Amino acid sequence: MIIAAFKNSGIDKIEGNIYLDLSSSDSLFWGKGWMWDDDSSRDFPYMNSLPINKNSIKVVISPSPAGEKPLVTTIPPTEFVHIINKAVTVEGDTTKLSVTRDWINRNNDITVSGFTGAASHPDTLETNIVNPDKYFLALFTEQLKKGGIEFSGKTDTLKTPAGLEPVASVKRPIEKVINRANKESDNLNAEMLLRCTAYEMLKRKISAEDGVKYTDSLITLAGLKGSNYRIVDGSGLSFYNLISTRLLTEVLKYIYSRPELYNVILPSLPSAGIDGTMAGRLKEFAHLNNINLKTGSLSGVSALAGYITSEHGHTLAVSVLIQNFKGNQAPVREIMDEICRAAFLIKSEKDE
């Protein structure tokens, strides 16, 4: 969109340099209490104030004839990353591949290893990107070239000088960001929402701590004391967070009491058996579209929170937290699904 706007403005050459303004937030790229060994996962993003493509990259591995290396491409295509292809194509349709970024040395060397069957379909895996500001600039300058706009200067970060005239802008409704954060359980979107809340109110350089202050305000509005809980990030990736099912339920009740909030939050929650992170769960309720729950998981922790419309037409605020377990989450999730099935059957005295 921005490249097209440049072209429409008659710009076919940029003389000088291109700078990225990251001054609206601090330079901390991870949240408090994030686990260092989660690095390279797409769900563990490096943060900045201008993320692009979820600050991650998709690696597509397409089989070649048996005995040869598979074809490796990226989405988006870019020279910013360095692909090291150690994979091989074998006979048949069995695939076992891994994509790892050199997170120990904190660079963007991406190694593809394992094997893919000559008769298999292309496989797509994802990894996060380190130095997302440089990633943004690389993708931008590559798109300039593809768009026929000449540029030979350098790229860097710099606070925008006063008095400049904008050429183009890109905006999106906040509902789309909330929808992605909840439906896909997208950590980066959740973190950006925390910071954007603070920036919208303060109009200055902000941090996660600034956003948390407004989260504490929400807790107060829900009738509880923020000092009884601990929230340090927007995504819940940190083990420093300390909340309760009561807190989640009271916030859900508060949102329900405000139609202007409820009408935004409800459709953003994954619908059981239909979409998002609940697409594969409670499929027997898909035709009713009446179980809308946000999922959450960490090692040894599984969570659900949202709304269930019972068979008697009652809207229930539901939250379930299970922790301190070891191993696969599937058995724990089945217990949580049974709780949801029981909630669906709840009736009041008036239903007797």
Q: Say what the pLDDT of residue 324 is.
A: 94
The CATH H-level superfamily of 174-351 is DD-peptidase/beta-lactamase superfamily (3.40.710.10)
Alpha-carbon distance 347 to 161, whole Å?
62
Alpha-carbon distance 229 to 241, whole Å?
8
Q: Say what the pLDDT of residue 350 is.
A: 73
Alpha-carbon distance 25 to 50, whole Å?
10
pLDDT, tens digit (0-9, with 9 covering 90-100), for 86-135: 999 999 999 999 999 999 999 999 999 999 999 999 999 999 999 999 99
Alpha-carbon distance 268 to 259, whole Å?
14
| C-beta separation of 197 from 16 below 8 A | no
Nearest in space to 144 (alpha carbons), one of 21, 51, 13, 8: 13
pLDDT, tens digit (0-9, with 9 covering 90-100), for 143-201: 999 999 999 999 999 999 999 888 888 888 999 999 999 999 999 999 999 999 999 99
Which regions of 122-246 does DSSP assign to beta strands (E)? Answer: 123-128, 150-151, 155-157
Which is more confidently placed, 7 or 286? 286
**112, containing H or E segment:** strand 109-117
Domain boundary assignment for the chain? 36-128, 174-351
Alpha-carbon distance 280 to 116, whole Å?
26
CA-based angle 106:47:300, to the nearest 5?
Answer: 85
Six-digit token pair at 173?
């409704």
> DSSP secondary structure string, 217-281?
HHHHHTTS-GGGSB---SSS--TT-B--HHHHHHHHHHHHT-HHHHHHHHHHSPBTTTSGGGTTS
Q: Kindly state the percentage of the chain with pLDDT values over 90.
A: 90
- Distance (Å) of CA 160 to CA 24, 130, 164, 168, 320: 11, 24, 8, 15, 46
The pairing of beta strand 82-85 with beta strand 18-20: unpaired
Nearest in space to 245 (alpha carbons), one of 304, 191, 299: 304
Which residues are CB-neighbours of 228 under 8 A, at least 6 positions away? Answer: none
- Distance (Å) of CA 83 to CA 10, 219, 303, 305: 36, 46, 36, 40
Q: Confidence band (pLDDT; 50, 70, 90) for 275?
A: very high
The overall average pLDDT reported for the chain is 94
Asked if the model's pLDDT at residue 352 lies above 70, the reply is no
Q: Determine phi and psi for 318, rounding to 5 degrees.
A: -125, 135
Which residues are CB-neighbours of 316 under 8 A, at least 6 positions away? Answer: 307, 308, 309, 310, 343, 346
pLDDT, tens digit (0-9, with 9 covering 90-100), for 56-83: 999 999 999 999 999 999 999 999 999 9
| C-beta separation of 185 from 44 below 8 A | no
- Distance (Å) of CA 43 to CA 72, 95, 181, 192: 22, 23, 12, 14
Asked if the model's pLDDT at residue 1 lies above 80, the reply is no
User: How many CB atoms lie under 10 A from the CB of residue 45?
Assistant: 24
